[in-house]
Structure 1
Amino acid sequence: MFDKLFAAQQKAEEIKKRLDTVSVFGEVENGAIKITATANKAITGVSIDEEFFKNADREEVEELLLVAINKALASAEQVSATEMQSATQDMFGGLGGMFGQ
């Protein structure tokens, strides 16, 4: 029983490490603002098109940055949830044998 729980814990750690290597993106205004993040929800890059930046006011840039960041984080959440769901199915499938199923 403890072996299976330990294996599940190791699997969770492997998923977390893998999510650190997966990049997700959020962009607005046809790519004028692009946000890059890991699937663990760490922002790793911000890119603002120079022409867009010259012609935009501060409030517009701030508002669009928030939208792009939220898009990137939503993508990260989706990737993370998919990975965790897969791991959970594997884990419960393996634990089922412990309970005679």
Structure 2
Amino acid sequence: MFGDISGMMGKLKEAQEKVEETKKRLDTVLIDEAGADGAVKVTVTANREIKAIRIDDSLLEDKEELEDYLILTLNKALSRASAINEQELAIAAKSGMPNIPGMDLFK
């Protein structure tokens, strides 16, 4: 019915290995994001790990403003990281998947 099961299992293992390699590579992909006026800058990996936060001294006097800038800037950076992460992992998974008729999972 599905053809060569051992061949499909091998393809699935290859797909899993490609996904793992992609996850490791995404740890090295850095995304920089800055607040509207550049007073807050953050760097995250494509695996959504925060690597750096830089805050302009002018924001150190207003806690609420600093918190708002951090939330906005981190959310923008993490959103970009998530989009890259999902796209790259989908490509890695699709490239290694066996061709099973009627099972197009990645349209």
* TM-score where L is the length of structure 1: 0.83
Q: Does residue 46 of structure 2 align to residue 68 of structure 1?
A: no
Among 47, 53, 59, the alignment partner of 1:53 is 59
Aligned to 2:88: 83
Look up the SS of the partner of 1:21 in the other structure. Answer: coil
Aligned length: 94
Q: Does residue 38 of structure 2 align to residue 36 of structure 1?
A: no
Cα shift readout 1:73-94 (whole Å, capped 9, x = no counterpart): 00101111220222233134xx
Amino acid across the alignment from 1:77: S
Amino acid across the alignment from 1:53: L
CA distance in 1, matches of 2:46, 2:63: 29
Look up the SS of the partner of 1:73 in the other structure. Answer: helix
Structure 1 unmatched ranges of 5 or more: none
Retained in 2: the 8 A contact 1:25–1:71?
A: no
Extract structure 1 runs of 4+ deviating beyond 2 A.
none
Retained in 2: the 8 A contact 1:19–1:38?
A: yes
Retained in 1: the 8 A contact 2:23–2:89?
A: no
Sequence identity (%): 39
Displacement after TM superposition at 1:13 (Å): 0.4
CA distance in 2, matches of 1:12, 1:75: 19
Displacement after TM superposition at 1:65 (Å): 0.3
Amino acid across the alignment from 1:22: V
For the aligned residue pairs, the C-alpha RMSD in angstroms reads 1.6
Displacement after TM superposition at 1:53 (Å): 2.2
Q: Could you say which structure has the higher helix fraction? A: 1
Among 8, 12, 28, the alignment partner of 1:5 is 12
